[in-house]
């Protein structure tokens, strides 16, 4: 289920990237959240196997990457990181955890699972950067996050396939290694693309 809901996060980011080009933070995040919520509810009604969830991720991430690609190369002006950045992000995470724990008895395991996968870190980035550097620059940051998020889906599949034969500790370490290697490759590829574009 978690691997399938990973696709809803990609939809959330894609909607924001498109809307942030011309709309305010509140309109962009609100409509992106509505899209995430609708996708999450729809996906949670389906019984997903590991491979069907993986196939869903391939289709959704491939489509989202194609949509946001034109918005990834935007100049981001230099900014100073205020001391409260970390406070904002940690507070949002704490509020999410508190909401899950508080509401879990009322909304049940299914509802708690949906609430627990809300992309709170990406949302905090939206609010912090949108006011500071503008919508298009913030959208470029989040558009660039989609390939890395796809790697998280690969890590989840790896964990699912290895946890029984290898044990939980080894499987977690292996999945973490896959995630780190994936994101390192994404970062290196992107740096090469930017360098080549500058040379041209």
Instruction: Look at residue 139 and tell me whether its pLDDT is greater than 70.
Output: yes
pLDDT for 113: 60
pLDDT tens per residue, range 34-43: 999 899 888 8
Q: Is residue 120 part of a domain?
A: no
Predicted confidence at residue 116, as pLDDT, reads 61
Please check whether residue 91 lies inside any domain of the structure. Answer: no
The token pair at 185 is 């490759």
Q: Considering the domain boundaries, does residue 166 fall inside one?
A: yes
35 neighbors 86 (Cβ within 8 angstroms): no
Concatenated DSSP letters for 65-82? HHHHGGGS----------
pLDDT for 87-96, tens place per residue? 766 676 666 6
pLDDT averaged over every residue in the chain: 81
Residue-range definition of the domain harbouring residue 73: 2-78+126-199
Do 1 and 42 meet the contact criterion of CB atoms below 8 Å apart? no
Query: To which residue do tokens 């939980």 refer?
Result: 168
Burial 74-86 (b: 16+ CB within 10 A, else e): beeeeeeeeeeee
Helices (H), 117-167: 120-133, 135-166
pTM: 0.79
More confident residue, 116 or 175: 175
* Higher local confidence (pLDDT), 122 or 89: 122
Q: What is the mean pLDDT of residues 186-198?
A: 70
- Whole-number Å distance between alpha carbons of 10 and 156: 15
Please state which of the ranges 46-55, 108-117, 180-189 shows the lowest mean pLDDT.
108-117
Number of structural domains (the chain) is: 1
In a domain, 19, yes or no: yes
- Asked whether residue 54 is domain-assigned, the answer is yes
92 found inside a domain: no
Q: In 3D, which of 104, 95, 142, 148 has the Cα closest to residue 123? A: 142
Q: Is residue 178 part of a domain?
A: yes
More confident residue, 50 or 118: 50
């Amino acid at each position: 289920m978690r691997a399938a809901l990973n696709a809803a996060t990609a939809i959330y980011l894609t909607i924001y990237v498109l809307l942030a080009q011309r709309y305010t933070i509140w309109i962009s995040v609100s409509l992106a959240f509505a899209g995430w919520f609708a996708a999450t509810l729809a996906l949670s009604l389906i019984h997903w196997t590991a491979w069907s969830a993986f196939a869903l991720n391939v289709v959704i991430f491939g489509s989202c990457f194609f949509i946001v690609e034109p918005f990834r190369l935007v100049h981001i002006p230099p900014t100073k990181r205020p001391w409260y950045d970390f406070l904002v992000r940690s507070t949002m995470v704490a509020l999410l955890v508190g909401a899950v724990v508080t509401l879990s008895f009322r909304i049940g395991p299914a509802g708690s699972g949906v609430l627990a996968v809300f992309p709170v870190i990406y949302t905090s980035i939206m609010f912090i950067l949108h006011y500071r550097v503008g919508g298009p620059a913030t959208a470029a940051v989040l558009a660039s996050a989609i390939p890395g998020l796809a790697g998280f889906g690969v890590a989840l599949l790896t964990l699912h396939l290895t946890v029984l034969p290898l044990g939980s500790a080894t499987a977690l370490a292996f999945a973490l290694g896959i995630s780190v290697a994936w994101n390192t490759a994404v970062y290196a590829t992107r740096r090469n693309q930017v360098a080549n574009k500058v040379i041209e």
